[in-house]
């Protein structure tokens, strides 16, 4: 019986020692030269096209370029687009307005999903943010959410309690019959 109680207490401690509030701040540089369409492919070697974040994380973009930029959700025109005739297609989820050189802008993601963004001034700049459920990265391909961990722990605790109840009833039945 004491082993069951110990297992239950251990499982309870595991569940409640895992904080589900692990929001982070992620910094993304708008690099020097990002305004030059001819440098786009070179810059992509140094600047990740996509960043993975979790729900609740705040992303801060810092303009390290010499001209203003925007961080606007939606589609850009792509590398082959013509900025004289093609326009960015904002979707309204977030928009920084113009971020001057040396300044920054932040946005906190509150829902999971895949969010493309562009600069409406330089619409060939296309990048994205993938927002994931909060969780633990077990490897590059496996992600366990805190909800899953909590569910497993609750099931383990329930099994432990049920087992303890069954054992207690068995002991009582043995005492009353013997």
Of the chain, the percentage scoring pLDDT greater than 90 comes to 37
What pLDDT, in 10s, does the model give residues 75-94? 988 777 888 888 899 999 99
Of the chain, the percentage scoring pLDDT greater than 70 comes to 73
Pairing of strands 25-30, 143-145: unpaired
Determine phi and psi for 51, rounding to 5 degrees.
-120, 135
Q: Report d(CA 2, CA 25) in Å as an integer.
A: 44
In the block, which residue shows the tokens 């307005």? 97
Pairing of strands 72-75, 104-108: unpaired
Tally of CB atoms within 10 A around 80? 7
135 or 125, which is more confident: 125
Inform me whether the pLDDT recorded for 4 exceeds 80: no
Longest dimension (CA), the chain: 94
Say how many CA atoms lie within 13 Å of 93 toward its Cβ.
20
In the block, which residue shows the tokens 């043995």? 174
The H helix count followed by the E strand count for the chain is: 3, 10
Bridge partners (DSSP) of residue 143 are 137
CA 28 to chain CA centroid, nearest Å: 14
Bridge partners (DSSP) of residue 26 are 59
């Amino acid at each position: 019986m004491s082993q069951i109680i110990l297992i239950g207490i251990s499982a309870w401690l595991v569940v409640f020692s895992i904080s589900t509030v692990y929001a982070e701040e992620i910094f993304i540089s708008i690099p020097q030269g990002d305004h030059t369409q001819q440098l786009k492919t070179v810059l992509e070697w140094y600047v990740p096209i996509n960043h993975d974040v979790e729900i609740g994380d705040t992303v801060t973009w810092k303009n390290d370029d010499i001209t203003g930029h925007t961080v606007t959700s939606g589609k850009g025109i792509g590398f082959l687009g013509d900025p004289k005739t093609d326009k960015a297609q904002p979707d309204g989820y977030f928009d920084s307005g113009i971020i001057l050189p040396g300044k920054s802008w932040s946005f906190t993601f509150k829902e999971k999903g895949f969010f493309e963004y562009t600069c409406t001034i330089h619409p060939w700049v296309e990048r994205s943010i993938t927002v994931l459920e909060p969780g633990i990265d077990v490897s590059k391909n496996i992600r366990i959410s805190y909800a899953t961990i909590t569910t497993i722990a609750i099931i383990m605790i329930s099994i432990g309690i049920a087992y303890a109840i069954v054992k207690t009833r068995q002991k009582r039945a043995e005492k009353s019959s013997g």
